[in-house]
Structure 1
Amino acid sequence: MIGYYAHGQGSGHCNYAQLLADFLQEKLVVFTDSLFKFKEDVQVVKLSDEHIDGTEFNRKLYREPQSLHYAPINLRKITSRNSLLLQSVLNFDVKLLIVDVSVEIAMLARVSSIPYAYVRLMGERSDFAHTGAYQGAVFLMAYFPKEMEMEDTPEWVIKKTIYLGFISKYLFKGQSTPKPQVYNNNKKIHILHLLGFGGTEAIKYNLDPSKFNLVSVGPGRTHNHEPYVTHMGVVDCTRAFIEHADIIIAACGSNTTSEILNLGKTFIAIEEKRHFDEHGKMAEALYSNRWALPLRFFKSLPTAIKAFESMAQVPSIPNGKKELIKFIIYLCANMNHIDRLRFAYPDRGVANIMTGIKNNSISA
């Protein structure tokens, strides 16, 4: 059994958990405090949240050690959730825990002798806590291709990382979707603004209503009341809106970025305020590969749109379909030999490892 700890912030972590559950099915159990609606057949252990409730000790007096990011003292619901997680690991006979993301859960796993893989996000993560979580992992995972790797990433981190590439629920696209009715005016340029579950900052559109039709999709509000703006709210599926949009504006979180790129589209990237400058580093890496255009490079949205429309042909966008399938096959084949996963470094390659184990040429 594989365990997957999905952080409750936003929906991205749970989307990745659901994607792996689609492949691993009964071989995967999810641990989360999120309200995300998983498919009915997914095994989910619902954890209590970690929010402070007044029972914790004064956090200004009892600050976190360098090895942890969030660890209030005397907050009993954290004690209870950790106890539930550990007992569930035993009950489900979890052989590997994928941590997406939490340095505290990573440390809990390591001191509890549970093999874990840590999901790397973009951003400045050379702090003591992240370094410890990386060091303690059996291996690291990245839901982005190696082309996105930051220049200052230590070589040992790169070698320990399995790059799955851009993966999302739209990885296996199938047939195209019908155009949404809100896009029916063929005389206008259709702009899609994706508003995420992780929080969205309002931007000023200031667009020509005779030229543009802007549609916003998601739980947030744009705070723009121009007549050419249609707010759809939360929709069952964003795919059709993404596929048929002429221009896409979206925050460059990992999941949203992967969904857009998996559908063969590029976009204007908005950098939301996130810890460790996650969106800033993501936007820079996307721009260097010409897969997105950061809005902050321009004075206004209209000037960004002009630059976007004049972009040269976009290079091919890699997706993680091949790597994900290899990874899933390897996990299933070695569920009882997780220690072998430490060999799955980029310089060896998952495919080579599978061949090596098949030929008994790799020892644990």
Structure 2
Amino acid sequence: MSRPIGYYVHHHGDGHRQRAIAIGQSLDNVMLMGSGLAYRTGNLPFLDLPDDRLDDSFAGIDHVDRPSSLHYAPLDHEGLRQRTALMTGWIAEARPRLMVVDVSAEVAMLARLASVPTVYVRLSGRRLDAAHLDAFRAATALLAPFQDALDDDETPRWVREKTFYAPGIVRSASQNISANDDVVLVVLGRGGAISNGEHWAAAARAAPAWQWRVIGPCTVPADLPPNLELPGWVDDADAQIAAARVVIGAAGDGVVSAVLSARRPFICLPEPRPFDEQASKANRLAVVGGAIVRHEWPKPQEWPSLIGRAIAQNQQWSACLESESGPERVARWLDDLCARAVSNRSHIA
């Protein structure tokens, strides 16, 4: 068996883990590593790392003096010490061909210091700070889980040229599913706070011709309208997105990918994230006609118009939102990177 590919999985949100599993299942020899992976990687091997968070409000950035090339380096943190030792120990023993880092500037630089080629996963947003740019420069290549048309306008040309754009890594259950003409589906993800059910109750009352369904973490309103359902977490979110007449959600990678794969009318309400991750992607969606975007919470009386505009916009599907997708495509690219690296080392020798 060939030397493995290491795959670091960040623990904030769930999109990183889903991408890792999808890609890993298309690779011959991969090791996932991250916090909280036990019993959550399907049939893939994993290295479960101690938690490095200071508290539950973790956002990937600490508040101590540190070099500008780092985002998160709290001092005297036992979890951080142990996870660093475990990763470098695995690298020394397994001698990986490549490390995919999704995402952490610190892990990317750690792998590079350990003489391992890296592929850094680029998320949306304006990631032009020193830590991100150094991780990009140190990487053999960059992987963006979105269409190039959704890349931020300020992304430098050299970063774009180094990037492999790969939307649709996690397959959406959108094949052969017909839309339910009266359902407005609200999709809430794991990366944000619990949504206020009173807001969705007001929206449902303002648009009574629609059956509203909210999936994900949401409070229960005091007076639940008859056209509003709150099932909470579901196991078939992608299928429900594909079957909805209109989808409402934030601009996280998972929701946007599923909506675009299913070609659903989309009302996007981006949430605050570091590096303007969601705002940047939402703005690009608006430019290319992939969503009706609101950065402020709509007034109740605006919902019928927003729904109508989303349906009308969806009739003119932009060609730039079309692209080859699937985890197999990424796995082939990673294998090619490894093969080229071996060839280059042989040529030098």
TM-score bin, normalised by smaller chain? 0.7 to 0.9
**What is residue 243 of structure 1 aligned with on the other side?**
242
**What is residue 278 of structure 2 aligned with on the other side?**
279
**What is residue 29 of structure 1 aligned with on the other side?**
31
Q: Which amino acid counterpart does residue 243 of structure 1 have in structure 2?
A: A
Candidates 157, 182, 189, aligned match of 1:196:
189
The two structures have a TM-score, normalised by structure 1, of 0.81
Task: Give 1:209 deviation, angstroms.
Answer: 5.7
Q: How does 1:1-364 map to 2 (within 5 A)?
A: 1-24=4-27, 26-35=28-37, 38-52=40-54, 62-170=64-172, 175-177=175-177, 189-200=182-193, 201-202=195-196, 203-204=199-200, 205-207=202-204, 208=206, 210-221=208-219, 223=221, 225-296=224-295, 299=299, 300-311=302-313, 312-316=315-319, 317-321=321-325, 325-332=328-335, 335=338, 337-338=340-341
Alpha-carbon separation, structure 2, partners of 1:123 and 1:165? 16
Give yes or no for contact 2:211–2:227 (8 Å, CA) kept in 1. yes
Give yes or no for contact 2:52–2:79 (8 Å, CA) kept in 1. yes
Alpha-carbon separation, structure 2, partners of 1:174 and 1:268? 18
Task: Give 1:255 deviation, angstroms.
Answer: 1.9
Give yes or no for contact 2:120–2:141 (8 Å, CA) kept in 1. yes
1:10-46 per-residue CA deviation (whole Å, 9 max, x = no partner) reads 101111101102211x411111113585343111111
**What is residue 344 of structure 1 aligned with on the other side?**
none
Q: Which amino acid counterpart does residue 331 of structure 1 have in structure 2?
A: L
Q: Which amino acid counterpart does residue 318 of structure 1 have in structure 2?
A: E
User: What's the secondary structure of 2:134's corresponding residue?
Assistant: helix
Give yes or no for contact 1:195–1:216 (8 Å, CA) kept in 2. yes
**What is residue 349 of structure 1 aligned with on the other side?**
none
In structure 2, the CA distance between the partners of 1:301 and 1:49, relative to structure 1 (3 Å rule), is farther
Q: Which amino acid counterpart does residue 215 of structure 1 have in structure 2?
A: R
In structure 2, the CA distance between the partners of 1:116 and 1:310, relative to structure 1 (3 Å rule), is same
Task: Give 1:276 deviation, angstroms.
Answer: 0.7
Task: Give 1:95 deviation, angstroms.
Answer: 1.0
Alpha-carbon separation, structure 2, partners of 1:10 and 1:166? 17
Task: Give 1:222 deviation, angstroms.
Answer: 6.7
Runs (4+) of structure 1 exceeding 4 A deviation are: none
Alpha-carbon separation, structure 1, partners of 2:167 and 2:175? 22
Task: Give 1:279 deviation, angstroms.
Answer: 0.4
User: What's the secondary structure of 1:23's corresponding residue?
Assistant: coil
In structure 2, the CA distance between the partners of 1:21 and 1:89, relative to structure 1 (3 Å rule), is same
Task: Give 1:242 deviation, angstroms.
Answer: 1.1
The two structures have a TM-score, normalised by structure 2, of 0.84
Alpha-carbon separation, structure 1, partners of 2:207 and 2:293? 23
Give yes or no for contact 1:249–1:268 (8 Å, CA) kept in 2. yes
Alpha-carbon separation, structure 2, partners of 1:146 and 1:176? 27
Root mean square deviation, CA, Å: 2.8
Percent identity among equivalent residues? 29
1:123-178 per-residue CA deviation (whole Å, 9 max, x = no partner) reads 111111111111111111111122122222111111111112333222xx585358
Give yes or no for contact 1:209–1:227 (8 Å, CA) kept in 2. no
Alpha-carbon separation, structure 2, partners of 1:289 and 1:166? 18
In structure 2, the CA distance between the partners of 1:273 and 1:89, relative to structure 1 (3 Å rule), is same
In structure 2, the CA distance between the partners of 1:19 and 1:320, relative to structure 1 (3 Å rule), is farther
Q: Which amino acid counterpart does residue 8 of structure 1 have in structure 2?
A: H
Gaps (5+ residues) in structure 2? Answer: 56-61
Alpha-carbon separation, structure 1, partners of 2:96 and 2:218? 37
User: What's the secondary structure of 1:90's corresponding residue?
Assistant: helix
Alpha-carbon separation, structure 2, partners of 1:37 and 1:229? 34
Q: Which deviates more, 273-282 or 109-118?
A: 109-118
Task: Give 1:320 deviation, angstroms.
Answer: 3.6
In structure 2, the CA distance between the partners of 1:45 and 1:318, relative to structure 1 (3 Å rule), is same
